Amino acid sequence: MKQAYHLILLTLLYAAVPTAHAEADPVVSEALQEYFDFVDYGAGQITAEQIPASDYANFYILDLRDADQFSKEHIPGAVNIEWRQVFSKRDELPRDKPILAYCNTGSFAAQVALALRLDGFDNVKILYGGFDRWKTSGGMDAGK
């Protein structure tokens, strides 16, 4: 998981620089540096086993998958915003309630969490392993 997370971050960094010869935006570089100075391994990740069933009501549950996947099955109480649209819709997200973000495996959730954290959201948790792991671990009953 750590290697996948680093690969995602490197991809985001690469995308922030338009060409190999262009200089990085100093604001973006500073924000990333501040993030990496304070983030620890596994920061913001939580497993289904760590969440008692009664605690799901305390989260704003954010399903980052596409609408078709969401319509077939999702964590009860989840709100669906496809991962590519979250940053443009970030004003719709609460800053006063923890956000539990998930996709199928956790990779898109990690990208969204990084973008939101860099925008000042300090309340974002990534569901480790995503929806796939949540289902195989017993879902809301996993944290009993």
Domain count within the chain: 1
Q: How far apart are CA 46 and CA 65, in angstroms?
A: 18
pLDDT at residue 48, as a whole number:
93
Asked, for residue 5, whether it belongs to a domain, the answer is: no
Q: By residue range, what is the domain housing residue 83?
A: 42-141
Model confidence, pTM: 0.76
pLDDT at residue 136, as a whole number:
94
Distances (CA, A) of 16 to 7, 10, 88, 119: 14, 10, 17, 15
Q: How far apart are CA 103 and CA 23, in angstroms?
A: 32
Asked, for residue 66, whether it belongs to a domain, the answer is: yes
Kindly report the CATH number assigned to the domain that includes residue 106.
Answer: 3.40.250.10
Q: How far apart are CA 58 and CA 72, in angstroms?
A: 24
Asked, for residue 52, whether it belongs to a domain, the answer is: yes
SS3 label, residue 95: coil
Asked, for residue 31, whether it belongs to a domain, the answer is: no
Low-confidence ranges of the chain (pLDDT < 70): 1-22, 35-43, 144
79-80 and 60-63: which strand pairing?
parallel
Asked, for residue 8, whether it belongs to a domain, the answer is: no
pLDDT at residue 35, as a whole number:
67
Residue pair 127/109 in contact by the 8 Å Cβ criterion: yes
- Which pLDDT tens digit goes with each residue over 63-102? 999 999 999 999 999 999 999 999 999 999 999 999 999 9
